Amino acid sequence: MPLRNASDILTEARRRGYGVLSLLGGDLAMVLGLIQAAEDKRAPLILVYNEDVTPQIPIEIAIPLLVRTARSATVPVAVVLDHGRDLEHVVRAVRLGCSSVMYDGSALPYQENVARTAEVVRVAHAAGVDVEAELGSISGSAVDQGSPGPEAAFTDPDAAADFVAQTGTDVLAISFGNAHGVYQGNPVLDLARVRAIHASVDVPLSMHGASGLEDDDYPAIIKSGISKVCYYTAMGIGASDALRDVLMNSGKGELVYHQLLSPAIEYFRSETRRLIDVVGCADTI
């Protein structure tokens, strides 16, 4: 199946009121498990490459791997550069086959974020690639677990409307109490803010730092206006725990490295199936 732009997948999700998972395609076992789960559940999927999380896998190898595997799927899949640093980073990803890119200028002063995002949008759109941008600062880190990261700055609904109008971004990542990596204390999410932003813009909204919440939290988050649910840290911890159990129960000297691949794929497949049910996008294809 041809790759899809993330905004096409997410616009349909916004219209119909369900969430779509955005998951890290860090290696082949992960990618296979995620796509198999989406096919099992007849659900759309967004695969991302994040160079900071998996620096051992160069972008020139990772993105073509994701693109080729995604094209073999029987459900709509988008391949996205996650947290692109600058225009050069974005252009590299576009040339390697990404159907969508996320440019993160959230640490910049507002007008500079607007100007740089608008330039990324202009270049990406010329190549038929859509853009997600970020407004507001999300705390935490998916790389350094337990790090408080930058101080959170919640997204202002009026600024969101102006930002979308000036930049032409196709998807907007927002800050409303969400955090990358492991949450510091109990999450406190400002869903009223999400509803206000949803009402002020006509593009899908993205939540980064969505793992680490209770399953019961997600329906309210999605109902408030979130369409893209970016999830990794809890899944990454769960995969490590699952493989640790395999190693501990294998018996000394009885397990060879390649025998870990099947349990790794199966973990990502089963966990993704569960999460698809949680965000409500099963049987939407």
Q: Are 37 and 77 in contact (CB under 8 A)?
A: no
Q: Please pick, among 27, 40, 52, 82, the residue that the annotation labels catalytic.
A: 82
Q: At what angle do helices 59-71 and 28-41 cross, to 10 degrees?
A: 20
Dist CA 85 CA 82 (whole Å): 9
Beta-sheet strands, E only, within the chain: 20-24, 45-49, 77-84, 100-103, 130-135, 139-140, 171-174, 179-180, 205-207, 226-231
Please, which residues bridge with residue 228 across strands?
20, 206
One DSSP character per residue, 178-217 reads: -EESS-SSS----HHHHHHHHHH-SS-EEESS-TTS-GGG
The rounded distance, in Å, linking the Cα atoms of 242 and 263 is 8
Specify whether 82 is catalytic: yes
CA distance 227 to 19: 5
Beta strand 20-24 with 45-49 is parallel
Catalytically annotated residues: 82
